[in-house]
């Protein structure tokens, strides 16, 4: 047992494990999401493993592209998302992790903008607006952690004895809004939505087909795992409480997703730069001591 723990502490082992487990976790979260959404609407819903069937199927499709740079950007999107995960589990500088994560999203946007497709273009523009909307709050979150623990390193968070949620509840609320944007939940699902066929078709993802769409989906799984991993980090001292917190956030996001309709991009930026941003700032002032 002790040997096992020692082995787990090795950064290489940890990153390899994370790289394998994260998409699996993300896929299960996605499956749960679809299942519970269906139940909320009184439907039976797809099987839990449906996201995996989807990506396996997508791998076997014909690789349609518009030109080569598009594929490059898809790869960059995935690779940078993976780097984010690796850096997070090896306890690197959180702010750098965040910036790399931001570039990963930017790579997706650039891929969407590199092709001459109006729908993809509109989706990409909205995606940048999304990044613009949530980036400051994420940075403030990291700064809040720095203020509390005195270090930017991810490992410092795990070493501290007090759960983050005690000292930064307001930042946590702001972070939930960010999660809603990142996971494309209503009312923030402006850039690509399963429900917006008439408006933007599939937004940023529009021009990816077959295996390349599969790559973006896997990256999205990573993103899901990353987001919920961070939620877990808010209450890392007690696994049970962390799990509870996660469930609450998850169900809350689903309810909001089903209860709200999609709103405009301008509204999103205005909202994010007022309510969650001031929440985050208020929390920071309190942390300043």
* Closest CB 150 distance from other proteins, rounded Å: 8
* Closest CB 82 distance from other proteins, rounded Å: 6
**Cβ nearer to other proteins, comparing 139 with 263:** 139
* Closest CB 79 distance from other proteins, rounded Å: 3
Peptide bond into 187 cis (omega under 30): yes
Phi, psi torsion values for 153, nearest 5 degrees? -75, 140
* Closest CB 177 distance from other proteins, rounded Å: 15
**Cβ nearer to other proteins, comparing 114 with 253:** 114
**Cβ nearer to other proteins, comparing 67 with 238:** 67
* Closest CB 140 distance from other proteins, rounded Å: 6
CA distance 153 to 156: 6
Q: Are 260 and 119 in contact (CB under 8 A)?
A: no
Q: Are 184 and 34 in contact (CB under 8 A)?
A: no
DSSP three-state, residue 93: strand
CA distance 134 to 102: 10
**Cβ nearer to other proteins, comparing 82 with 231:** 82
What residues does 153 pair with on adjacent strands? 93
Single out the residue of 206, 223, 178, 219 nearest to residue 122, CA to CA: 206
């Amino acid at each position: 047992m002790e040997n096992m723990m020692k082995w787990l502490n090795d950064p290489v082992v940890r990153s390899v494990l994370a790289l394998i487990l994260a998409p699996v976790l993300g896929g299960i979260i996605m499956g749960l999401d679809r299942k519970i959404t269906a139940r909320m609407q009184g439907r039976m819903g797809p099987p839990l493993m449906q996201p995996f069937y989807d990506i396996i199927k997508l791998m076997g499709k014909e690789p349609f592209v518009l030109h080569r740079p598009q594929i490059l950007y898809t790869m960059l999107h995935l690779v940078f998302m993976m780097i984010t995960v690796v850096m997070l589990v090896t306890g690197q500088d959180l702010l750098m992790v965040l910036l790399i994560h931001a570039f990963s999203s930017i790579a997706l946007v650039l891929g969407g903008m590199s092709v001459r497709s109006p729908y993809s273009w509109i989706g990409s523009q909205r995606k940048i607006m999304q990044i613009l909307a949530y980036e400051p709050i994420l940075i403030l979150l990291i700064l809040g952690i720095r203020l509390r623990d005195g270090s930017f390193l991810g490992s410092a968070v795990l070493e501290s004895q007090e759960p983050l949620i005690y000292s930064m509840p307001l930042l946590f609320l702001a972070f939930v809004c960010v999660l809603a944007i990142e996971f494309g939940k209503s009312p923030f699902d402006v850039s690509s939505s399963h429900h917006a066929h008439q408006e933007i078709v599939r937004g940023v993802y529009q021009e990816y087909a077959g295996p390349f769409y599969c790559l973006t989906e896997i990256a999205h799984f990573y993103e899901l795992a990353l987001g919920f991993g961070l939620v877990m980090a808010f209450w890392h001292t007690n696994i049970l409480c962390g799990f509870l917190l996660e469930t609450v956030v998850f169900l809350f996001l689903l309810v909001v997703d089903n209860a709200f309709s999609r709103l405009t991009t301008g509204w999103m930026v205005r909202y994010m730069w007022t309510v969650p941003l001031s929440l985050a700032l208020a929390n920071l002032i309190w942390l300043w001591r």
